[in-house]
Amino acid sequence: MKRYDLRSDTITKPTEEMRKAMYQAEVGDDVYREDPTTTRLEELAAHLSGKEKALFISSGSMGNLISLYLNGGRSNEVLTSSNSHIIHHEVGSIASIAGVLPISIEAPRGILSASQLQGKVKSGAYDMATTTLVSVENTIGGYCYPLENLEGIRDFADTHGLKVHMDGARIFNAQQAMDIPIKTYAKYADTLTFCLSKGLGCPIGSLLCGSEEFINKALTVRKILGGGMRQTGILAAAGLYALEHNVLRLNDDHRRAKTIAKALKECSWAQVDMEGVQTNVIFFTAPGFNANEIISQLAQVGILANNEGPVVRLVTNLDISEQDTVEICSILKAFKPRKN
Ligand SMILES: Cc1ncc(COP(=O)(O)O)c(C=O)c1O
């Protein structure tokens, strides 16, 4: 039976062309800052994000952690949405390593606005933590941040002397879906992380972007975390390849996600969040069934899904073709969940 892996966009394997680019990469020791391919990638990331400098890091989690370590600071607080990745999927590292306390804010689809931050900033009292940072995630659950929210958050942060970090693991999806360059999103944040290893199809790697002063400090924190790597050009070459070849094709993932969501909408057993499908992520429920029941029954017909709490999640990706999408839709339409 053919399997369609829609658990995440992180499951993709590097293509032949990407592997060739990795094989041919010119390399040096990046801890000595002598890897020319990594330098090229960092310069490109700085240019795309409109920041002074960028740093190649092993993962999105590392980027978030470095930013929170430097911009948050021990015993301080970060304001973030209650469904953010830094709260749920980074093993509490922002607290255990960076020493930052997350203040979790309930927000529709995880999209914060300045009004939700009102009254949450603490400073001054000797027995209280100080609020130093706001962290936003773009996209969050595949949903893109409206610019007016970011503008409001930036103004709020400036008024209260806070920094803003953007976890832009999938910011290129937002760029393509909204036709807003990542530079425009990034101008509302002091620091931005984006991932090469998600929709862009690389095996490893993320970029942390910010001011020159911040990135110079980030280099030291990356080393503290064991993230100083040597001939990283092998990985950076994949990143350069992806930024050149795999950004526009994110539109295919988005179109396929909408097609699959429409097919689910026609299924009497499913309730799908159509409005939420802006990029490559689809959320749905099957009333009367829990997410695990649906996931295990879908696996039996070849569709691999994941869940976020009680909701089933499908993510289109580089390894799901147009033909696969047609087949996935017909499998979903023929599928009937059953009680065991
Ligand atoms: C929104 C978001 N931020 C950060 C990360 C962490 O990235 P990594 O898996 O590279 O640590 C992920 C991973 O899926 C993510 O979805």
User: Which pLDDT does position 125 carry in this prediction?
Assistant: 87
The reply to whether ligand 1 has any atom less than 6 angstroms from the CB of 59 is: yes
Rounded Cα–Cα distance for residues 233 and 229 (Å): 10
DSSP-based helix, strand, coil % in the chain, nearest 5: 45, 20, 40
The reply to whether ligand 1 has any atom less than 6 angstroms from the CB of 154 is: no
CATH 3.90.1150.10 boundaries in the chain: 249-334
Nearest to 202 by CA among 194, 210, 191: 194
The reply to whether ligand 1 has any atom less than 6 angstroms from the CB of 85 is: yes
Rounded Cα–Cα distance for residues 228 and 132 (Å): 27
User: What dihedral angle (degrees, nearest 10) is formed by the CA atoms of 185, 72, 153, 273?
Assistant: 70
CATH 3.40.640.10 boundaries in the chain: 16-245
Q: pLDDT tens-digit profile of 147-179?
A: 999 999 999 999 999 999 999 999 999 999 999
Q: In angstroms, what is the span from residue 63 Cα to ligand 1's centroid? A: 9
Q: pLDDT tens-digit profile of 79-109?
A: 999 999 999 999 999 999 999 999 999 999 9
User: Which pLDDT does position 50 carry in this prediction?
Assistant: 98
Reading the block at residue 188, the tokens are 């509302």
User: Which pLDDT does position 291 carry in this prediction?
Assistant: 97
> Could you say which architecture CATH assigns to the domain 249-334?
Alpha-Beta Complex (3.90)
Taking the CA of residue 58 as reference, the ligand 1 atom at the shortest distance is 10
The reply to whether ligand 1 has any atom less than 6 angstroms from the CB of 167 is: yes
Look at the domain 16-245 and name its fold. Aspartate Aminotransferase; domain 2 (3.40.640)
For the chain, residues with pLDDT lower than 70 are none
User: Which pLDDT does position 339 carry in this prediction?
Assistant: 86
The reply to whether ligand 1 has any atom less than 6 angstroms from the CB of 163 is: no
* Whole-prediction pTM: 0.97
Sign of CA dihedral 231, 235, 241, 244: negative
CB 163 within 8 A of CB 107: no
